[in-house]
Chains A and B, each alone.
Chain A
């Protein structure tokens, strides 16, 4: 790079730019630190400290409390099952569809693409979708959290663009060797597309872990509620002010630290996988190709 004179104006600009960005990052993350910190504090300390970030009086009481019942284990079990199973399910069908539609010689490809993109712009809405879920027999089963969202059109389009940009020579040579389309996909295309596969898997996994709306729409049976519904229940329980609060049982309101700890439990799995996958999408190249 050529030598560059740095003017005073430019320095001032840099100072403010770095300062504002650092501030932004800090504001974004402080609430979470506050919640994590409070969850490990005693209730007394939370009540007496104005801005608690790191507890001085370390306590696991809140966690002991929430893990003392079966409810949280059941909810976590449901969430883990739906997340792992749902991600595999969605990835299988998204990859198959995306790869198929990335083949330029496929007759009818444009029509099918249009049909899929159109669902992003218009859909039947909540009630007709509910009726279809009901008529396909999914109500009150965990499948209701998975099957109606099998393929996310956006994710499928990202995968498809990724496959479209692979060098076409790969398939040709494999074809000459007599490989069929399935073995090309599973033996050649997927192994070289791992960054894309990993990123889209993360997107699906996070969506499944965070599922809330479909649970309250399709599952009446509290035993099948995932952890997000439980979290909601614990946090609003005390107030009884929200629409859905009446639906919850009449247990005494949990302490603040318990609420904080439940938030942490509902969040931690996402935070654990995030750093490992972060490097893939930080490059941004993948998502830049959405259009097209």
Chain B
């Protein structure tokens, strides 16, 4: 009795070993067979290692007093000095607040707009009309931020801009949109909406096409009007996509748009317009404080990553799909 179980156990062990071996040789065989595929992805991999992962390694200079001529290996270690300097700086809270507010505008004002436009486009029955609207509202996405900001500039300037001309015509005071602190945030978010809201519909429209038309039929039978159909059928159907995009958007706190904000920034609106990205640029590349500005960027990137992880965790807790 005893021996049989023992041998059975041993046999099972042997078998497991055998399977492992076979699996390993199978893996090896597959690896060898795909030599050429590895060759194909090699340049891409090298690119990511050099231009994405090497800079991540470079983040360690935020714990050093980096001197270009000494390099990473020769520069002096200073621990968290740059971080404490950042948190103690009087500018920190101003920049932090500005970054958070722009982020909030992106999430609460911009984000719902493409969803609403998609729902509206989905209700259009004449496909030529739908396609025409789509074609037009996608266009600004393909314009550079320089063009978007320049077009806004020539329209908003006090110096013959069309918007102030209209205001004057209507008997209002001129507004110096470009230099006025109060107008920076509205201008920022309106430009984001102008450039991205149309293009943002693509992914939602794609998700909507997957909705079973019978659901609408059934809802109509039950007397649901168009709003109720939108609310109870279309919206729940694209819920997953909405959540995934929201999580990605939260990750975008990383890339709030250095280029966009930098183009709008000037010495008059700096109090509301300076964000981490622009601060890193000025402190790092214009003033040469490599280590300090890297610490600022590291802090921002870390917060961004933490927020994505948190948002994803939250989504999963609520039984949603998440991004990973």
Q: Which residues of A contact B (CB under 8 A)?
A: 2, 4, 7, 9-10, 13-14, 17-18, 20-22, 24-25, 28-29, 31-32, 34-35, 38, 46-47, 50-52, 93-94, 96-97, 99-101, 103, 105-108, 112, 115-117, 119-133, 136, 147-151, 156, 180-182, 185, 206, 209-213, 217, 228-229, 231-232, 235-236, 238-239, 241-244, 256, 259-260, 263, 266-267, 270-271, 274-275, 278, 281-282, 284-285, 287-288, 290-291
Among candidates B36, B146, B152, B282, residue contacting A232 with C-beta atoms closer than 8 Å: B146
- Chain B at the A interface: SS class: helix
Contact between B56 and A32, CB atoms less than 8 A apart: no
What 1/0 mask marks residues of chain B from 161 to 179 whose CB sits below 8 Å from any chain A CB? 0100110010000000011
Among candidates B44, B137, B169, B285, residue contacting A24 with C-beta atoms closer than 8 Å: B137
With A119-B48, A125-B301 given, is the CB distance from A210 to B144 under 8 Å?
yes
> In this complex, what residue of A is CB-closest to B61?
A128
With A107-B30, A123-B56, A282-B131 given, is the CB distance from A96 to B44 under 8 Å?
yes
Contact between A34 and B155, CB atoms less than 8 A apart: yes
Residues of A within 8 A of B263 (CB): 232, 242
Among candidates A7, A10, A149, A235, residue contacting B150 with C-beta atoms closer than 8 Å: A235
Measured CA separation A70–B31 after assembly (Å): 55
Selected A-B contacts with CB under 8 Å, 8 pairs: A9-B226, A28-B198, A100-B44, A132-B55, A151-B44, A181-B37, A210-B147, A288-B206
Contact between B121 and A21, CB atoms less than 8 A apart: yes
Residues of A within 8 A of B117 (CB): 21, 24
Residues of B within 8 A of A236 (CB): 153
Contact between B258 and A101, CB atoms less than 8 A apart: no
Measured CA separation A13–B308 after assembly (Å): 38
Say if the beta carbon of B313 comes within 8 Å of chain A.
Answer: no
B175 to chain A, nearest CB (A): 16
> In this complex, what residue of B is CB-closest to A236?
B153
Among candidates B33, B143, B207, B262, residue contacting A267 with C-beta atoms closer than 8 Å: B143
Interface hits, B125-175 → A, CB 8 Å: 125, 129, 131-140, 142-147, 150-155, 157, 159-160, 162, 165-166, 169
With A115-B48, A124-B55, A284-B205 given, is the CB distance from A256 to B160 under 8 Å?
yes
Measured CA separation A156–B48 after assembly (Å): 12
Measured CA separation A112–B45 after assembly (Å): 8
> In this complex, what residue of A is CB-closest to B34?
A106
Say if the beta carbon of B115 comes within 8 Å of chain A.
Answer: no
Contact between B139 and A97, CB atoms less than 8 A apart: no
Contact between B205 and A121, CB atoms less than 8 A apart: no
Residues of A within 8 A of B282 (CB): 243
Say if the beta carbon of B184 comes within 8 Å of chain A.
Answer: no
Contact between A122 and B131, CB atoms less than 8 A apart: no
- Chain A at the B interface: SS class: helix
With A243-B267, A287-B202 given, is the CB distance from A212 to B155 under 8 Å?
no
Contact between B56 and A128, CB atoms less than 8 A apart: yes
B284 to chain A, nearest CB (A): 4
With A127-B280, A291-B244 given, is the CB distance from A274 to B254 under 8 Å?
no
Residues of A within 8 A of B143 (CB): 210, 267, 270
Say if the beta carbon of B268 comes within 8 Å of chain A.
Answer: yes
A233 to chain B, nearest CB (A): 10
Residues of A within 8 A of B284 (CB): 126-127, 130
Contact between B124 and A107, CB atoms less than 8 A apart: no
Measured CA separation A166–B36 after assembly (Å): 20
Contact between B150 and A259, CB atoms less than 8 A apart: yes
Among candidates B58, B142, B225, B251, residue contacting A121 with C-beta atoms closer than 8 Å: B251
Contact between B41 and A96, CB atoms less than 8 A apart: yes
Q: A130-B285, A282-B134 are in contact. List 12 more A-B contacts (CB 8 A).
A: A25-B137, A31-B152, A103-B34, A123-B52, A125-B300, A128-B54, A133-B51, A211-B144, A212-B146, A236-B153, A239-B157, A241-B179
Contact between B280 and A126, CB atoms less than 8 A apart: yes
With A107-B31, A150-B51, A278-B135 given, is the CB distance from A124 to B59 under 8 Å?
yes
Residues of A within 8 A of B179 (CB): 241
